[in-house]
Amino acid sequence: MHALQPRHLFLGLVSLVCSLPMPASAQEPSPSKPLNVLMIAVDDLRPELGCYGKTFIHSPNIDRLAASGMRFDRAYCQVAVCGASRASLMSGCRPETTQCWNFKTLLRSKMPDVLTLPQHLSRNGYETSLLGKVYHSASDDASAWTVDASEWAPRDRSKGKGYVQELPRKRNPANSSEKPGPSIENGGDVPDNAYADGHNAERAVAMLERFATQDKPFFLAVGFLKPHLPFNAPGKYWDLYDRDAIEIPSREDVIDGLPYARSSWGELKNYADIPAKTKMLDNDKTRELIHGYRAAVSYMDAQVGKVLDALESNGQRENTIVVLWGDHGWYVGDFGDWCKHTNYEIATRVPLIVSAPGIPAGETESLVELVDLYPTLCDLTGLSIPQHCQGKSIAGVVRDPKLSVRPAAFSQYKKSKPGVGPLLGTSIRTERFRYTEYVSSKTGKLEDIVLIDLDNDPGAIRNVASDPAYQSFLPQLHAWCEQSATGL
């Protein structure tokens, strides 16, 4: 293996590049009023949508957004867990800088002084506000928001706790040792606002109506929970799918894979209808869960449509950048796994769509990361890029899908190996490979490698790290992997 190159050198180069002024062409078009930004964050969303070629998914509203913007086919999160992924995106920093590795750690507990994306926009004349799940906790980065959504679009609490915390209606008391209710719920003949996402979509519409009367540009971040567990949605979205027609993915493990590197899917096992010690769900339960996941996707998509409709009806669409992203991927029985929490392709690949005024629609296979969104939005709005940002602006790719900004995209997740203890898993996605190293957090020793040749093995079913035919690729992949703290 090649020796580690100094990380501080790469950090300095990244900071230098990020601080350079952009050419005038990167800031076009140049309206009299600065461009607004509508950011739509979606929890646990796979790039399994109509616009991504998955015609079995009913997602007409995200599809029409994609038809007006740039669809990124190779976009990757930094950590396949919601809190850490969002902390990285909103701060512009990689997880080795944020030190946020799970859903519990607040960004401000680790980086109290970092200039976040909404803070940067607010300091440059933007009104900023959020609805729903943007950070994992609504209290994180509270000072970054200039408009309190509860004052502009009050939360209707008359129908109970469903609007405060998305859970099945029949739930055990908080002080109970029993599990929460079922992992799915067909809500039947209930309106969209019977669940939190529908209610927050209504509030987002009200926010956009208020912003339309303001002179200042706005940054509105709207976070939708679905398709996060539990898979609950009104019945009409369940009716879009025929459960018997659902194909079950292969549940075979990766040949020569690492058992500890898989998802333990403990998140799903928290629900009362999932046995805690099961290692494989039967076909009926697998189809039921996939049905619920897809119903939840279509329900969320309908809420996205309401927000986009409001943006258009208020005359703001032509002056607004719209960004939609998923915080990480999600297993739906692939390799027998569920949830996320791995360094592999399914857990780390995310949908990403950027639609900006005056820029033609398109699609790109350029490798990008969610940490790139902060500097990209700076470029598209004509603002300077703070020097602490560790991603790269992909504004050029938004304009020209043939451009490439990096040879590999990083993702990381911590695991534990029996007999060894905690490991930091660092994974890179190149044009051809997914290469993952697991390094002991105690000794710094490289314990294991996983190499997937996605050109020849698109199903990612074989680890070829020990295959002699691939040994010549390992030094370069290792050298790139060592740059995880700053990126490429």
Q: For the whole model, what pTM was predicted?
A: 0.90
Q: What is the DSSP secondary structure assignment for residue 79, as one 8-state letter?
A: B
- H helices of 314-372, in order, are 345-348
Percentage of residues in the chain having pLDDT higher than 90: 84
Give the mean pLDDT of 206-215.
95
Most confidently predicted of 128-137, 158-167, 376-385? 376-385
Of 58, 120, 136, 328, catalytic: 136
Report the distance separating Cα 387 and Cα 2, nearest Å. 29
pLDDT at 30: 43
Task: Tell me the pLDDT tens digit for each residue of 313-339.
Answer: 999 999 999 999 999 999 999 999 999
> In angstroms, what CA-CA distances link 49 with 71, 110, 326, 450?
11, 35, 12, 28
Q: Given a cut of 70, is residue 111 above it in pLDDT?
A: yes
Per the annotation, the verdict on 120 as an active-site residue is no
pLDDT at 61: 98
In angstroms, how far is the first alpha carbon of the chain from the final one? 19
The CA-based dihedral angle spanning residues 401, 402, 406, 412, taken in that order and rounded to the nearest 10 degrees: 50
Task: Tell me the pLDDT tens digit for each residue of 464-477.
Answer: 999 999 999 999 99
Span 32-407 CATH architecture: 3-Layer(aba) Sandwich (3.40)
> In angstroms, what CA-CA distances link 139 with 103, 104, 132, 133?
13, 12, 12, 11
Per the annotation, the verdict on 481 as an active-site residue is no
Q: Given a cut of 90, is residue 265 above it in pLDDT?
A: yes
Structure tokens at 322: 């719209």
Of 51, 77, 82, 100, catalytic: 82
Task: Tell me the pLDDT tens digit for each residue of 58-99.
Answer: 999 999 999 999 999 999 999 999 999 999 999 999 999 999
Buried/exposed 287-326: b ≥16 CB within 10 Å, e otherwise: bbbbbbbbbbbbbbbbbbbbbbebbeebebbebbbbbbbb
DSSP secondary structure, 279-301, as one string = SS--HHHHHHHHHHHHHHHHHHH
Radius of gyration for the alpha carbons in the chain, expressed in angstroms and rounded:
22
Task: Tell me the pLDDT tens digit for each residue of 113-140.
Answer: 999 999 999 999 999 999 999 998 878 8
Q: Are strands 331-332 and 338-339 parallel, antiparallel or unpaired?
A: antiparallel
Give the mean pLDDT of 287-304.
98
Whether the link from the prior residue into 60 is cis, omega within 30° of 0, is no
The CA-based dihedral angle spanning residues 468, 473, 479, 483, taken in that order and rounded to the nearest 10 degrees: -120
Show me where the domains of the chain are located: 32-407
